[in-house]
């Protein structure tokens, strides 16, 4: 079995994914980090120099490569990855994979992202209120894709609670 974590930026996909992988004896791959290593360029620099569309194509290409050979692997996708092309439909048809949406409260996301606005999509937002409005709009647009996951788990401020919720739903 393999797990694919989806959700908005700062929902805990990488943090929870790494901890759960360790607990289950799985490998862990963060798609954004994987792309940065392969492309020898940060996600921010790819966005700046080559644009978002180029980055979304890279995501698709590398995700297909990773899933082709994954075994006992947890993959954390970028927040936008499930929303482009037919990614969710394709992921949900893969044998031996489960998609897990880490649904996270708007206030939690705002607090986490306001502390670290280095991400390309939000780096221009100056106030917490502007950030919260941006996230709310994005969540509304992306929820259609996120809610197609085979499992939906509330991502709380407690990593242990979130992990236990995931394990419970996997049984």
Summarize pLDDT for 138-147 with one digit per residue, the tens. Answer: 999 999 999 9
* Helices and strands per DSSP (H, E), number in the chain: 8, 5
12 labeled binding residue: yes
Q: Is 73 annotated as a binding residue?
A: no
Find out whether 132 is annotated in a ligand binding site: no
User: Has 61 been labeled as part of a binding site?
Assistant: no
Q: Is the CATH code 3.40.50.300 the one for domain 2-170?
A: yes
Based on its alpha-carbon atoms, the radius of gyration of the chain, rounded to whole angstroms, reads 15
Is 79 a known ligand-binding residue?
yes
Is 13 marked as binding a ligand?
yes
Parse the chain into domains and list their residue ranges: 2-170
pLDDT in tens, 73-91: 999 999 999 999 899 999 9
Amino acid 56: pLDDT: 94
Q: Is 162 annotated as a binding residue?
A: no
Has 103 been labeled as part of a binding site?
Answer: no
Total-model pTM: 0.94
C-alpha distance from residue 16 to each of 57, 58, 164 (Å) = 26, 24, 10
CB 30 within 8 A of CB 76: yes
Q: Around 113, how many Cα atoms within 13 Å sit in the side-chain half-sphere?
A: 31
For residue range 87-135, what is the model confidence (pLDDT) as tens digits? 999 999 999 999 999 999 999 999 999 987 677 778 888 899 999 999 9
């Amino acid at each position: 079995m393999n797990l694919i974590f989806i959700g908005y930026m700062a929902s805990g996909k990488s943090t929870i994914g790494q901890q759960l992988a360790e607990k289950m004896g799985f490998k862990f791959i963060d798609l954004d980090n994987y792309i940065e290593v392969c492309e020898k360029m940060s996600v921010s620099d790819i966005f700046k120099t080559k644009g978002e569309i180029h980055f979304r194509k890279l995501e698709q290409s590398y995700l297909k490569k990773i899933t082709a050979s994954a075994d006992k692997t947890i993959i954390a996708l970028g927040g936008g990855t499930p929303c482009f092309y037919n990614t969710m439909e394709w992921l949900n048809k893969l044998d031996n994979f489960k998609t897990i949406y880490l649904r996270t409260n708007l206030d939690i996301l705002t607090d986490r992202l306001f502390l670290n606005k280095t991400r390309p999509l939000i780096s221009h937002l100056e106030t917490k209120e502007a950030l919260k409005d941006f996230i709310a709009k994005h969540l509304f647009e992306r929820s259609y894709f996120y809610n197609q996951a085979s499992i939906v788990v509330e991502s709380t401020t407690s990593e242990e609670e979130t992990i236990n919720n995931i394990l419970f739903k996997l049984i």
